[in-house]
Amino acid sequence: MERVYSVSDINNYIKQLVSNDGILSGLSVRGEISNFKHHYTGHMYFTIKDQNSVLKCVMFKSHASLLRFAPQNGEKVIVSGYISVFERDGQYQLYASDMQPDGVGALHLAYEQLKNKLQKEGLFDADKKKKIPILPKCIGVVTSSTGSVIRDIINVTYRRHSKMRIQLYPVAVQGAQAAGQIAAAITKLNQLKQVDVIIVARGGGSLEELWAFNEEVVARSIYASDIPVISAVGHETDFTICDFVADMRAPTPSAAAELAVPDLEVLLYKLQNYSIRMKTSLVNKLEACRNQLQKVNSRNVFRQPYDKVNQHRLRLDNDLKHLIKSSEMLIKEKKSQFAMLAGKLDALSPLKVFERGYSVVKNSEGNIVSRVEQVSIGDTLEVSLRDGKIDCKVVSTKQGGSLNG
């Protein structure tokens, strides 16, 4: 009877065949990245493709963390690893152990990627650069404790300023541990608050040897520093990410020392010149004030001060007389206006009506009676005259009477 296999049996069998294949157990594949996903666990899942086919790939965290650049969709890469079968899904995929940009070095690509990223974030902006102090009391140096770099910095510093203090924070300047040590040194110097400026320095080297100064952790520690930082990495033609983030770039470590430390003799010479210029300026100013005072003293106001006072007194008297006259005219005018208004008001007064022989009649409710039809026989009325009031009672009424009747 024919044997019946399970799905797992088949997938496992195929996996064994693939794993034992000499070509598939170690190979490199060229293709374009698509469907890239960097999982929160650190693993990378993606597909590489050409014009006709696609190949699923996975790169676990242990290998992904060693990449020098950040893979992105659309990039052409060469992926190295081995082919195996994922038994659960019955799919084969490339298990990647390395990835390199196709045609461009990984370090160059990583450099450009980080440079563009930090530039967009504003870490290179000129308005965020801190000023280097003119006369620091102590400079901090982050570099190797051995080699020509620290010796050059010390020699230049003491030649320019014999009393200057130097605080060295020794670090590795290349290798896997270098970036972390450099960033930690910058942070520590900020915490200690004993230096006025920091020099981050290293001698020349290849891109790989200078790579620690292109790491993001170093760039962000420089940007976060409250103390101004001078970058002096490599030769004049070498540009690192540190150079763009730092508050000042020096072409060499020796030049960094010259930028950080003033020449004491030159400084004293400038101070002497400033002192001479200040004295000269002060003398000229005093002389100008003396001449101005002499001109003022020569004026009539100082030679005949009482005449000037009398002139102003006479002017004040005239102004006062004019003010009094104007006030009297204004008061007279207002009195005339007031008398005219009082006459009009008096003419309208009810008392004038009484003087002409008229009276005001009100009924028992206090309403004014102006017509015969408003009263009835027997109503009680109040008649107001000029000198008093009369209470009366209506005994009869007549219609059609007149004031002249």
**Higher model confidence: residue 374 or residue 29?**
29
If one counts the domains in the chain, the total is: 3
Instruction: Tell me which of 262, 284, 305 is where a domain ends.
Output: 262
The pLDDT value given to residue 1: 62
Reading the block at residue 72, the tokens are 């992105």
Check whether residue 93 and residue 164 sit in a common domain.
no
Give how far the C-alpha of residue 34 lies from the chain's centroid of Cα atoms, to the nearest Å.
Answer: 39
Band of the pLDDT at 405, cuts 50, 70, 90? very low
Check whether residue 97 and residue 113 sit in a common domain.
no
What domain range is 223 assigned to? 107-262
Flag the least confident range among 36-40, 78-82, 192-196, 234-238: 234-238
Residue 379 CB contacts under 8 Å (≥ 6 apart), including other chains: 363, 364, 393, 394
The C-alpha atoms of residue 183 and residue 229 are separated, in whole angstroms, by 12
Residue 362 has pLDDT above 50, yes or no: yes
CB 28 within 8 A of CB 79: yes
Query: Which CATH number fits the domain that encloses residue 69?
Result: 2.40.50.140
| pLDDT tens string 332-355 | 888 888 778 777 776 666 666 666
Strands 229-233 and 248-249: parallel
Check whether residue 174 and residue 212 sit in a common domain.
yes
Instruction: Tell me which of 262, 285, 302 is where a domain ends.
Output: 262
CB 383 within 8 A of CB 389: yes
Band of the pLDDT at 22, cuts 50, 70, 90? confident
| pLDDT tens string 198-233 | 999 998 888 888 999 999 999 999 999 999 999 999
Check whether residue 150 and residue 73 sit in a common domain.
no
Strand-pairing partners, residue 381, are 392
User: What percentage of the chain carries pLDDT values higher than 70?
Assistant: 93
Residue 33 CB contacts under 8 Å (≥ 6 apart), including other chains: 46, 47, 48, 71, 72, 73, 74, 75, 76, 77
CB 29 within 8 A of CB 47: no
Instruction: Tell me which of 231, 262, 293 is where a domain ends.
Output: 262
| pLDDT tens string 236-277 | 787 899 999 999 999 999 999 999 998 888 777 878 888 888
